[in-house]
Structure 1
C-alpha cells in the first residue's frame, strides 16, 4: 500500500484544503514574510505570481542566510530576490515514499504541493513525510503479519 500525500496526509494537516499554506507575492518584504511565517506557525512560504500560481519558495533558512547573515535590510529585501525560483513540487497524488526520495535527494525540508493548474494546495515538510512513511511501513508490517499467521485467510493461530 502506498499512501498518497492528498487526501491522506494533506487533509490531516490542512483539513480546510488550503489550511496553513502561507502564500505571498514576490514583492513582499522579507520582514513581512517572517512575521507571516511566525503568525501562521510555518517554516516556509510559497511565493506566487500575479496569476496566483507558484513561482518560488522561501524558507526560514533562506531568511537567515540570504538576509540576516548577509546583513541585508529585511525591510528592503523582497522575496523575489531570495526565493528559490521554480522549486521542485509534489502533486496531490504522489506517494509519501516517492516524496521522501525527492526530498532526500534534493536535500529539501519543505516542498509545495500544487494541483494540475499550478496552484498551491499545501506545503509539506519532511516531518509530514516521515510521519506518512512511518504509517505506510506500519501498515505493511501489519499486513505481512496477517499473511504469515494466516489471518487473511480466516485461519486462527
Structure 2
C-alpha cells in the first residue's frame, strides 16, 4: 500500500480550471494568465474532452503565425487527457509523465478529473525529498 503522504492527489493543483470547447485560444490564454496556471481542461457539454497547455499555444499557434482570436481551443488541444487515479504513488506519475512526454497529467477520482499534476508540482516534490535526504 502507498504511503498516504506520497499519493499523487496530495500534490495536484485543484480545483481544475475548465474552458468550453467553443472558446478561442485567446480566451484560454487570458483565463490561464488570470489564474496563474499552465493548463486548462477543455469541456464540451459537461464532458472533459482535452487539455490545453501553454506549450500548445507556442507550438501550434504562435510559432505558426496564427491568430489566437480565430482559433478554437479544440483545434490545438491534446486529447484524450492522459490521467491517473489520485491514490497512485507520485513516483508512478513521474514515470508515466516521462514515458508519455507530457508536462500535465489529469488526476482523477471516480474517473472524473479533479486535479492537474504538472512538472512544477513534481519539481517541488523531489526538491523537498532531496532536502530531507541531505539532512541525514
Q: Same fold (TM over 0.5)?
A: yes
The count of residues paired between Structure 1 and Structure 2 equals 132
Equivalent position of 2:120 in the other structure: 127
Where 2:116 maps in the other structure, the secondary structure is: strand
Deviations 1:31-56 (A, max 9, x none): 000000100001111112212x3211
The alignment status of 1:40 with 2:42, answered yes or no, reads no
1:29 to 24, 27, 47: 24
* Correspondent of 2:97 among 103, 107, 110: 103
Residues 137 and 95 of structure 1: CA distance in aligned 2, closer, same or farther (over 3 Å) = farther
Partner of 1:5: 8
Q: What is the CA-CA distance between 1:111 and the residue it aligns to?
A: 1.2
Distance 1:58 1:98, change over 3 A: same
In 2 relative to 1, CA 39–23 (structure 1 residues): closer, same or farther, beyond 3 Å?
A: same
Name the Cα RMSD after superposition. 2.2
Query: 3-state DSSP class of the match of 1:55?
Result: strand
Structure 2: distance between partners of 1:71 and 1:92: 38
Q: Does 1:49 align with 2:44?
A: yes
Distance (whole Å) between structure 1 residues aligned to residue 90 and residue 54 of structure 2: 23
Instruction: Work out which structure has the larger RCO, using CA pairs closer than 8 Å and 6 or more positions apart in sequence.
Output: 2
Unmatched runs of 5 consecutive residues or more in structure 2: none
- The answer for the alignment partner of 2:62 in structure 1 is 68
Counterpart of 2:88 in structure 1 is: 94
Q: Which runs of 5+ in 1 are unaligned?
A: 146-157
How high is the TM-score relative to the length of structure 1? 0.74
Q: What is the CA distance between 1:131 and its match in structure 2?
A: 2.7
